[in-house]
Amino acid sequence: MSHQHFTLLKTTNSARAGELNTPHGRVLTPVFLPVGSQATVKTLTPDDIKSLGFDMLLANTYHLYLRPGIDVIKNLGGLHRFMVWDGAILTDSGGYQVFSLSPLCKISDEGAKFRSHIDGSEHFLTPELAVQYQEALGADIIMVLDECTAYGDSRKKVQQAMERTHRWAERCHKAKTNNNQALYAIVQGGMFPDLRQASAEYLKKLDFPGYAIGGLSVGEPKDVTLPLIEQTDALLPQDKPRYLMGVGAPEDLVEGVARGIDIFDCALPTRVARNGALFTRKGRINIRRAAYSKMDSPIDPSCDCYTCRTFSAAYVSHLFRSEELLGLRLATIHNLRFIRNLMNDIRKSIMDGTFQSFREDFLALYHTTNEQTRVEQKGRWLKGRGNQVT
C-alpha cells in the first residue's frame, strides 16, 4: 500500500496493540474479523455488524468466484458496494476451500484444478488468478494462494506443500498491481517446528506488508497449536501485522494475543451461535438446555448486546426449541458482541500495561470446552463440511 499500513503503538510482553490503516478506515488491533463467506455474515445486516463495533470483516474468494461470480461483483462496483459495507474487508485467496471443500482437487506447480462443490463444474486456480480475483473484488487486504495440508500429513507432504506455497507467494507478489491493497503471505509447515521456521524466514525475505500463520487449528490439540504460534510469531517482523487464520474461541483469542497475534478470523462464533451455543464470561452455554427455559434474566447479565439488553434467556431458549429463525439472529448478535467486547478489553489492558493480569483473570473464570470433545467436534466438522458454507 502507498501509505503506512500498520503502526505498532504498545506492547506488553509479547501482546501488541496497534492500528491498521486501510482505504476504508483505521482498524484498531488486536482485532477479530467476523466471517462473511458469501458477502454476508449469516443472519445479520451490514448495519448490524457496524453497530456491534466491527470495522473490518472477512469474505471468501472461492465462494464469491462460484456465486455470483467475480465479474458480477466487479461490474456492480466491487465488493464494498455489492454488500453495502463501508468498512475494511480482508479476502482470503480461496485456497483452503479449494483443498477442503472441492471434490477431485489436483495440485501442480502451475495451480489447483478443482470441481465446484455446488455443481461439479471444473475450474483452475493459479496464484496469478487468485490475486486478479481479489483485486477485482476490491478488498483492502488480500492473501496469497497457498497449499494447505491436513493434520497428520507426512513430513514429506507438508514440506512439498510448504515449498510450493513459497513459489506461489513469489508469483502472487509479482502479479499484484493494485497499490491500494495489502498482500499478505502465509506461513505454512504443518506441525513441524523446523519447517515453520524455514517458511517464516523464506517469506520474510520477500518483504510482504503482513504475514499470516496458516495450517493450524485444523484438528490438532491445543498443546500442539500454541507452541507453534509462539515460535512462528517470534520469527516474523516486529513492524508488520501478524494474522492467525481460522482461530476464534474466546480462550484462543486471549492466548493468541499473548503470543503476539494482531488479527484473527473464524466462523466459530457465528456457527456455534446458530446451534444454540452462547458465550459468557464463565464459558459457553447451550441455550436449549432445560435450565434456561424458565430463566427470567439475560443470557449474560454483564453483556451489553441487544439480545441481553432486551430478552430473557427463557425467550431465546424458547426460540431455539421452537426452531424460530429469530433465535439464530439473536444468538449471533450476542456471540459477536461478546467477542468484540473481549477484544476491546484485551486492547485496553495492553495499552494500560495490565494484559497479563487480565489474561490470568479471564482464563481463571472462563470454563473451556473439554479438549478431547473439542478435537472430536472439530474433526467431525472438518470431515463433514462437504457442501457447508460458513
pLDDT in tens, 10-50: 999 999 999 999 999 999 999 999 999 999 999 999 999 99
Catalytic residue among 92, 140, 252, 262: 92
Q: Which of 180-189, 203-212, 335-344, 366-375 has the lowest mean pLDDT?
A: 366-375
Q: Where are the domains of the chain?
A: 6-266, 273-353
Handedness of CA 138, 143, 144, 148 (dihedral sign): negative
Catalytic residue among 146, 262, 265, 300: 265
Structure confidence at residue 386 (pLDDT): 44
Q: What is the SS3 assignment for 92?
A: strand
Residue 387 — pLDDT band, cuts 50, 70, 90? very low
* CB-neighbour burial class of residue 329 (10 A; exposed 0-12, middle 13-18, buried 19+): buried
Structure confidence at residue 189 (pLDDT): 98
E strand segments, 231-317 = 242-244, 263-265, 277-280, 283-286
Reading the block at residue 165, the C-alpha cell is 506455497
Reading the block at residue 101, the C-alpha cell is 471443500
pLDDT in tens, 309-359: 999 999 999 999 999 999 999 999 999 999 999 999 999 999 999 999 999
Percent of the chain clearing pLDDT 70 (strictly above):
94
Cβ proximity of 231 and 196 under 8 Å: yes
Mean pLDDT of the chain: 94
pLDDT in tens, 58-112: 999 999 999 999 999 999 999 999 999 999 999 999 999 998 887 789 999 999 9
**Would you call 92 a catalytic residue per the annotation?**
yes
Percent of the chain clearing pLDDT 90 (strictly above):
92
Q: What is the mean pLDDT of residues 266-286?
A: 97
pLDDT in tens, 146-161: 999 999 999 999 999 9
The Cα-based distances of 228 to 139, 155, 158, 183 in angstroms read: 29, 15, 15, 23
Cβ proximity of 281 and 254 under 8 Å: no
pLDDT in tens, 167-198: 999 999 999 999 999 999 999 999 999 999 99
Nearest to 218 by CA among 185, 190, 240: 190
The residue ranking higher by pLDDT, 54 or 389, is 54
Buried b (16+ CB within 10 A) or exposed e, 217-256: bbbbebeebbebbbbbbebbeeebbbbbbbbbbbbbbbbb
CATH fold of 6-266 reads TIM Barrel (3.20.20)
**Would you call 207 a catalytic residue per the annotation?**
no
